[in-house]
Chain A
Amino acid sequence: MKKVYLDNNATTMMDPEAYEEMLPFFKEKYGNPNSLHDYGTQTHKALRNAVDTLYRCINAGDMDDIIVTSCATESINWTLKGVYFDKIYTGEKDHIITTSVEHPAVSATCAFLESLDTKVTRLGVDGDGQIDLNELKNAMTDKTALVSIMWANNETGTIFPIKEAVQIAHEGGALFHTDATQAVGKLKVDVKDVGVDFMSFSAHKFHGPKGIGGLYIKDSIKLTSLLHGGEHMGGRRSGTLNVPYIVAMAKALDNATKFIEMENVHVRRLRDKLEDALLSIPDVAVIGDRKYRTPNTILASIKGVEGEAMLWDLNKAGIAASTGSACASEALENNPIMEAIGADVELAHTALRLSLSRFNTEEEIDYAIDEIKKAITRLRSISSTFAYTPSWHKSGL
Chain B
Amino acid sequence: MAKNTLIGGSIWDEYSQKVQDRMNNPLHMGEITEEEAEEKGLKLVVADFGAESCGDAVRLYWLVDEKTEIIKDAKFKSFGCGTAIASSDTMAGLCIGKTVTEAVKITNIDVEKAMRDNPDTPAVPPQKMHCSVMAYDVIKAAAASYKGVNPEDFENEIIVCECARVSLGTIKEVIKINDLKSVEEITQYTKAGAFCKSCIKPGGHEKREYYLVDILAETRAEMEKEKLEAIANAKTSDSGIDMSFEELNTIGQFKAVEKIMDSEIRPMLAMDGGDLEIIDIKKDEKGITDIYIRYLGACSGCASGASGTLYAIEAVLKENLSPNIRIMPI
A contact residues vs B (CB 8 Å cutoff): 304-309, 312, 315-316, 325-328, 330-334, 345-346, 348-350, 381-386
CB atoms of A330 and B52 under 8 A apart: no
Given contacts A306-B79, A384-B57, contact A333 B206 (CB under 8 A): yes
CB of B80 within 8 A of CB of A332, answer no
| CB-contact partner of A346 in B8, B12, B53, B131, under 8 A | B53
B52 adjacent to A312 (CB under 8 Å): no
Stretch of B22-30, B180-188, B226-234 contacting A (4+ beta carbons < 8 Å): B22-30
CA distance A375 to B138 in the complex (A): 26
- Asked whether any CB of chain A lies closer than 8 Å to the CB of B207, the reply is yes
* A328/B207 in contact, CB under 8 A: no
Q: Nearest-CB distance from A385 to chain B (Å)?
A: 4
Inter-chain contact A349/B26, CB cutoff 8 Å: no
B130 touches A (CB below 8 Å)? yes
Within the complex, which residue of A315, A325, A386 is in contact with B55, where a contact is CB–CB below 8 Å?
A325
Q: Are A385 and B52 in contact (CB under 8 A)?
A: yes
Q: Can you name the residue of chain A whose Cβ is closest to the Cβ of B126?
A: A330
**Which residues from B are CB-within-8-Å of A325?**
55, 81
Known A330-B127, A331-B205, A332-B206; judge A312-B11 contact (CB<8 A).
no
Kindly state whether residue B212 has any CB partner on chain A within 8 Å: no
Is there an interface contact between A316 and B82, defined as CB atoms closer than 8 Å?
Answer: no
In the bound complex, how far is the Cα of B53 from the Cα of A309, in angstroms? 16
> Given the complex of chains A and B, what is the CA–CA distance between A133 and B285 in angstroms?
70
**What residues of chain B lie closer than 8 Å to A304, measured between beta carbons?**
52, 79
Pairs A–B under 8 Å by Cβ, sample size 20: A306-B79, A309-B81, A309-B85, A312-B23, A312-B81, A325-B81, A327-B55, A330-B8, A330-B11, A332-B55, A332-B205, A333-B207, A346-B52, A346-B53, A349-B54, A349-B79, A382-B26, A383-B77, A384-B59, A385-B79
Interface residue B108 (Cβ < 8 Å from any Cβ of A): no
Q: Is the CB of B81 within 8 A of A350?
A: no
Residues in chain B near residue A331, CB distance under 8 A: 204-205
Shortest beta-carbon distance from A10 to chain B in Å: 11
Measured between beta carbons, the chain A residues less than 8 angstroms from B56 are 306, 327
Kindly identify which residue among B8, B29, B82, B130 contacts A309, using a CB–CB cutoff of 8 Å. Answer: B82
The answer to the question of B78 belonging to the interface, with a C-beta cut-off of 8 Å to chain A, is yes
Q: Assuming the A-B contacts A326-B55, A345-B53, A346-B52, are A332 and B82 also in contact, with contact meaning beta carbons closer than 8 angstroms in the complex?
A: no
B84 at the interface (CB under 8 A from A): yes
| 11 extra A-B contacts, CB within 8 A, seeds A328-B81, A346-B53, A383-B78 | A304-B52, A305-B79, A306-B84, A309-B84, A331-B204, A332-B55, A349-B54, A384-B58, A384-B76, A384-B79, A385-B79
CB distance from B231 to the nearest CB of A (A): 41
Measured between C-beta atoms, what is the minimum distance from B45 to chain A in Å? 15
Docked-complex contact B206 and A306, CB < 8 angstroms: no
Task: Provide the residues of chain B in CB contact with A308, threshold 8 Å.
Answer: 81-82
A333 to B205, CA, bound (A): 6
| Complex: chain B residue closest to A344, CB-CB | B53
Report A-chain residues with C-beta under 8 Å of the C-beta of B205.
330-333
* Interface set of B (CB-CB < 8 Å, partner A): 8-9, 11-12, 23-24, 26, 29, 48, 51-59, 76-82, 84-85, 127, 130-131, 198, 204-207
Q: How far is the CA of A288 from the CA of B81 in the complex (A)?
A: 26
Q: What residue in chain B is nearest A310 (Cβ atoms)?
A: B81
Q: Considering the chains assembled together, what is the distance between the CA atoms of A359 and B293 in angstroms? A: 90
- Whether the Cβ atoms of A350 and B26 lie closer than 8 Å is no
When the two chains form their complex, are residues B53 and A349 in contact, meaning their CB atoms are under 8 A apart? yes
Which of A306, A332, A334, A346 is in CB contact (< 8 Å) with B127?
A332
Give Cα distance in the complex from A246 to B193, angstroms.
Answer: 45
CB distance A349 to B55 under 8 Å?
yes
Min CB distance B203 to A, Å, is 9
Residues of chain B with a CB closer than 8 A to A309's CB: 23, 80-82, 84-85
How far is it, in angstroms, between the C-alpha of A324 and the C-alpha of B125 when the chains are bound?
20
The 5 A-B residue pairs with the shortest CB-CB distance, nearest first, are A384-B77, A308-B81, A327-B81, A384-B59, A331-B205
A231 to chain B, nearest CB (A): 32
In the assembled complex, which residues on chain B have CB atoms less than 8 Å from the CB atom of A332?
55, 127, 130, 198, 205-206
Is B55 a contact of A306 with CB atoms below 8 Å? Answer: yes
B84–chain A nearest beta-carbon distance, Å = 7
Of chain A, the residue at the smallest CB distance from B204 is A331
Q: B58 — which chain A residues lie within 8 A by C-beta?
A: 384
List chain A residues, Cβ under 8 A from B207: 333
Given A316-B24, A330-B8; A382-B52 close (CB under 8 Å): no
Q: Which residue of chain A has its CB nearest to the CB of B15?
A: A312
Q: Which residues from chain B contact A315 at a C-beta distance below 8 Å?
A: 12
Report the minimal beta-carbon distance from A313 to chain B, rounded to whole angstroms.
9
**Residue in chain B with minimal CB distance to A316:** B24
Q: Which of B12, B85, B127, B130 contacts A382 (CB 8 A)?
A: B85
Task: State A320–B26 Cα separation when bound (angstroms).
Answer: 23
User: Given that A306-B84, A330-B8 are known contacts, is A383 also in contact with B79, CB under 8 Å in the complex?
Assistant: yes
Which residues of chain B come closer than 8 Å to A383, judged between CB atoms? Answer: 77-79
In the assembled complex, the Cα of A292 lies from the Cα of B12 at a distance in Å of 35
**What is the CA–CA distance of A333 and B59 in the complex, to the nearest angstrom?**
23
- Separation of A385 and B59 alpha carbons in the complex (Å): 9
B-chain residues with CB within 8 Å of residue A386 when the two chains form the complex: 79
Q: Provide the residues of chain A in CB contact with B52, threshold 8 Å.
A: 304, 346, 349-350, 385
Min CB–CB distance B268 → chain A (angstroms): 64
B148 CB to closest chain A CB (Å) equals 23
Instruction: Across the interface, name the chain A residue whose C-beta is closest to B79.
Output: A385
**B59: which A residues are within 8 A, CB to CB?**
384
Min CB–CB distance B314 → chain A (angstroms): 57
Contact of B82 among A312, A333, A334 (CB under 8 A): A312
Chain A residues within 8 Å of B53, by CB: 345-346, 349
Which residue of chain A has its CB nearest to the CB of B50?
A384
Interchain nearest-CB distance for A3 vs B (Å): 17
Report Cα–Cα, A304/B23, bound state, in Å.
16
- B48 surroundings in chain A (CB, below 8 A): 384
In the complex, the answer to whether B26 meets A306 with C-beta atoms within 8 Å is no
